[in-house]
Amino acid sequence: MSDWSSKNPYMSEITENYILNGEGSRKETRHIVFDLGDSGLDYKVGDALGVLAENPPHIVEELLEVQGWDRETIVETHNGARDLYTALKKDFEVHLANKKFVQSLAHKVVSSGMRISLSIVSRSRNGEEWSASDSQALPPGLAPNQASDDPVAKVEALVDDAKAVEDYLWTRDYIDIMREFDVKYSPEEFLELADRLKPRLYSIASSHDAHPGFVELTVGIVRFEYNNRPRGGLCTQFMADEIDTSGAPIGVFMSPTKSFILPEDKSTDIIMVGPGTGIAPFRAFMEQRVFDGGEGRNWLFFGDQSAKTEFYYKETIEGWMDSGDLYRFTTAWSRDQEEKIYVQHRLKEHGAEIWEWFENGAYFYICGDKQYMAKDVHRALISIAEEHGGMSNEDATHFIEKTMMREQKRYLRDVY
């Protein structure tokens, strides 16, 4: 056993880092391999890897410049005393602004009594563009009577409205806000407001038996752009842009699961539903089932935008089908035809057979998007129980949510 943790991560080297998408894809999904070296770290399929990233250097540089801070200034942080550059790079989340900071503006602009004119062009969550030069248009989150060139009035209108703050933050980072209101903070004041940098979790996409000494991930890189500046996710950009090219080590630790596990009995059938990056743990499950050599059948539902550009692990999957290790492989390519086809549509199409598998004791696993996909798949399972199990809606809901999920623990989810 090793005692690596989020507070004491193992500094691992990335040995492989490549894009899984085909040319012309709208996405950037990467396969990333970490060397566990002499760490003694172990894992089982279903576990997640914790990754500790850093802020992009260009954001830290721009922040120092906008505020006129000296990078060498020594500051106290939750990780001890460090120079300001290191604190901004490694200890706090400075790539996206938080609500506390917006609230602090009220005091800042009132105490400085400033007047500015708005000049930023921004985009709201629904993609609608707002420009200050258009006198009819308003920034997202501001009602007509709240629009003002007066920063005091603008901040007051903003801080009283939680939804407006959320919309405002969606398109702006600290640098945008500091420029917009021309406010200055001392390093200590700013670090008091900024969030501590948190590790991100990733479902492990490999079996340790199949890849001794390595751990592998399937990562969707988060990138977007506002006000002509490229933005994105802290950890995914770090793995894609900084670590990929520098060869520098990156802090990792294991986050074991107690529940998202394979059935103990290797003759039990399993159904796995993992669109997009949701495929990650099922690559690991398949590797483990092949390694263990049990009798249980494996059925994988996978999908993403297009077979041409998002068929992740195509050769590996085809190999499992050829060898008979994958009994069934069902795809849902959402954008390869006029109407959207999602995994839940495929589940319903195969409802009769899925119900047979359930009656035979099969486990059902789901991984990927929590907000929409997992809820729709849940509803599809209830309708399968109604249609093919001859149950009322109430009984079907009870069967899926209580019997399968809570009592028998054979409907298992890894959703985010």
Ligand X SMILES: NC(=O)c1ccc[n+]([C@@H]2O[C@H](COP(=O)([O-])OP(=O)(O)OC[C@H]3O[C@@H](n4cnc5c(N)ncnc54)[C@H](OP(=O)(O)O)[C@@H]3O)[C@@H](O)[C@H]2O)c1
Q: Which of 94, 235, 254, 385 binds ligand FAD (CB under 6 A)?
A: 235
Residues 221-240 that bind ligand X (CB under 6 A): 222
Binding status of residue 203 toward ligand FAD by CB under 6 A: yes
Binding status of residue 199 toward ligand FAD by CB under 6 A: no
Residue appearing with tokens 């539903």: 273
Binding status of residue 275 toward ligand X by CB under 6 A: yes
Q: For residue 176, give Cα distances in angstroms to 121, 224, 396.
A: 11, 15, 51
Stretch that binds ligand FAD, among 140-148, 217-225, 296-304, 334-342 (CB under 6 A): 217-225
Least distance (Å) between residue 346 CB and ligand FAD: 21
- Do 415 and 374 meet the contact criterion of CB atoms below 8 Å apart? yes
Select 151 or 275, whichever has its Cβ closest to ligand X. Answer: 275
Tell me the residue number closest to ligand X, measured at CB: 276
DSSP 8-state code for residue 144: G
Helix (H) or strand (E) holding 414: strand 411-415
Least distance (Å) between residue 29 CB and ligand X: 6
Least distance (Å) between residue 223 CB and ligand FAD: 8
- Do 80 and 147 meet the contact criterion of CB atoms below 8 Å apart? no
Radius of gyration in angstroms for the set of CA atoms belonging to the chain, rounded to a whole number: 25
Binding status of residue 104 toward ligand FAD by CB under 6 A: no
Residues 299-328 that bind ligand X (CB under 6 A): 303-305
Least distance (Å) between residue 200 CB and ligand FAD: 4
- Do 84 and 70 meet the contact criterion of CB atoms below 8 Å apart? yes
Quick one: which of 144, 140, 156, 155 has its CA closest to 131? 140
* Residues 216, 299: Cα–Cα separation, whole Å: 22
Residues 326-355 that bind ligand X (CB under 6 A): 334-335, 340, 342-344
Select 383 or 403, whichever has its Cβ closest to ligand X. Answer: 383
- Do 50 and 255 meet the contact criterion of CB atoms below 8 Å apart? yes
Binding status of residue 306 toward ligand FAD by CB under 6 A: no
Q: Where are the alpha helices (DSSP H) in 150-231?
A: 151-159, 162-170, 174-181, 187-193
Binding status of residue 281 toward ligand X by CB under 6 A: no
* Residues 245, 17: Cα–Cα separation, whole Å: 10
Tell me the residue number closest to ligand FAD, measured at CB: 233
SS3 106: helix
Q: Which of 170, 214, 329, 416 binds ligand X (CB under 6 A)?
A: 416
CB burial of residue 211 (10 Å; 0-12, 13-18, 19+): middle
CA torsion 230-235-241-242 (nearest 10°) is: 120
Select 200 or 289, whichever has its Cβ closest to ligand FAD. Answer: 200
- Do 169 and 100 meet the contact criterion of CB atoms below 8 Å apart? no
For ligand FAD (CB under 6 A), the number of binding residues is 19
Select 21 or 288, whichever has its Cβ closest to ligand X. Answer: 21
Binding status of residue 277 toward ligand FAD by CB under 6 A: yes
Binding status of residue 201 toward ligand FAD by CB under 6 A: yes
Residue type for 402, please? K
Q: Which two tokens stand for residue 244?
A: 């990929």
Binding status of residue 21 toward ligand FAD by CB under 6 A: no
Q: Which of 97, 368, 396, 412 binds ligand X (CB under 6 A)?
A: 368
Residue appearing with tokens 């576990």: 47
* Residues 202, 48: Cα–Cα separation, whole Å: 5
Least distance (Å) between residue 202 CB and ligand X: 10
Residues that bind ligand FAD (CB under 6 A): 48, 170, 200-203, 218-220, 222, 224, 233-236, 277, 280, 414, 416
Residues that bind ligand X (CB under 6 A): 27, 220, 222, 275-277, 303-305, 334-335, 340, 342-344, 368-369, 371-373, 376, 416
